[in-house]
Amino acid sequence: MCSVSLQSQITPSNTIIRFHMRLMKPPPLSSSSTAAIFRKARLSPYLFTLLVFILFVCVLYGEDLTCIFGQQLQLTSSSDPIVIKTGKKREKLPFTVGKTDEGCDLFSGRWVFDESTRPLYEESECPYIQPQLTCQEHGRPDKDYQKWRWQPHGCDLPSFNATLMLETLRGKRMMFVGDSLNRGQYVSMICLLHKLIPDDAKSMESFDSDSRTVFTAKTYNATIEFYWAPFLLESNADNAVVHRISDRLVRKGSINKHGKHWKGVDVLVFNTYLWWMTGLEFKILLGSFNDEVKDIVNVPTTEAYRMAMKTMLRWLRRNMDPKKTRVFFTSMSPSHGKSIEWGGEPGGNCYNQTTLIEDPNYWGSDSRKNIMEVIGEVFSKTKVPISFLNITQLSNYRKDAHTSIYKKQWNPLTPEQLANPVSYADCVHWCLPGLQDTWNELLFAKLFYP
């Protein structure tokens, strides 16, 4: 039998799915019945010869013709219905329990103000939120930013089920890998889950000079971890505490330095973006950080980012078992540092912003588009099953959700800064509870209902 293989390309909202279809071979016609048909039709010798030749070719090469035209032809026997058998069942992705509506794009939708179900937890109820993200504790006067729910067009986002998540993670490891924005999503996940775990059955510890943080749910024998790797590759910003380096440098092809800590993880959630945004060019180290004379080249930032994406996918292909592990990549988290981009007054930013951006086509910086194009190109060519969490567009609307000035300040503020809050507002990170809880609702949906 002939097997026809169909493969869909990865897009920013799906994963690779492979399946095979086998078409039934038609029953051959007997020579006597064929001759009788020709006699009744009183065909000319030339036409008769041509039809016999065509029939001979069809019988001799029927299987090959089925391969070529199988999807167009309706092949039946005398009284049987059309038969299309699956040669190989679609493999169920790990952790899935169902699927979303056909054609549903969870990442295309609108924000709905919802006081009845939001927030999903209270800031004061989650002791794991870093002081950089506790906006209420640091004096934010409003709470509306906590009460927006994402509503996809034409379908609904599955409700986050903490019990299902914990039961699924029983005996397993979940790890977020990336920068401080991914750490915010990691903390959000813990805040969504920890209430179901008794106080004496959970813990939070840091290892390797704070490069790895591990939340343990002891009764489930499960861990939810964060690993600091802002570029995924080895860099001069790998120190999780002292990493504020302006002259950033990444070593080419060096993912194994960090990757050895990711092996065996059951659910991996990657992100990397913000640290690459230092200008039009980026420095790449071709040798070792230990070399006395370092071989450094400047390349376009988009090409440096492309290199990182290809290296990540290569590592996954070599080290991941797609029958056991699910991998996600979270797209760029937008910042709102220039109010002029959304039609605001020049010189402003996210400070004192309490409303959403209403323009459905708002995108912000062109650099995000360029990076998104790189991700789309690289992911579309890979056979590695990776789910893309496209949080960029929906987060673009949320200029109200940043920590702004309502966070722990690591350095004392000067009188000039205090007189101008715009100068020290953090328009990169997000208050918790808030926007990043939606990111985890989307992660939940893609994990269990792809």
Which residues are known to be catalytic?
A: 180, 426, 429
User: In whole angstroms, what is the distance from residue 186 CA to residue 130 CA?
Assistant: 11
Sheet holding 18-23, edge to edge: 3-7, 18-23, 84-88
SS3 category, 285 = strand
- DSSP sequence for 304-321: HHHHHHHHHHHHHHHH--
Residues facing 283 on adjacent strands:
249, 298
Cβ–Cβ under 8 Å, residues 186 and 156? no
What's the CA dihedral at 378, 380, 386, 392 to 10 degrees?
A: 70
SS3 category, 363 = coil
Which CA distances in Å does 275 have to 31, 216, 243, 246?
74, 29, 11, 10
Question: Which residues, in sequence order, are CB contacts of 155 under 8 Å at separation 6+?
Answer: 100, 101, 104, 106
Cβ–Cβ under 8 Å, residues 263 and 229? no
Element (H, E) at 298: strand 296-300
Cβ–Cβ under 8 Å, residues 294 and 287? yes
Which CA distances in Å does 412 have to 17, 91, 241?
53, 56, 18
User: In whole angstroms, what is the distance from residue 141 CA to residue 133 CA?
Assistant: 15
Q: Please list the alpha-helical segments (H only) found in 320-431.
A: 366-380, 392-396, 415-419
Q: Please list the alpha-helical segments (H only) found in 199-322.
A: 256-259, 301-319
Residues facing 308 on adjacent strands:
none
Cβ–Cβ under 8 Å, residues 267 and 95? yes
Residues facing 426 on adjacent strands:
404
Cβ–Cβ under 8 Å, residues 329 and 11? no
Helix, strand and coil percent figures for the chain, each rounded to 5:
30, 20, 50
Of 250, 213, 246, which Cα lies nearest the Cα of 231? 250
The token pair that represents 225 in the structure block: 């971890």
Residue whose structure tokens are 């006395």: 292
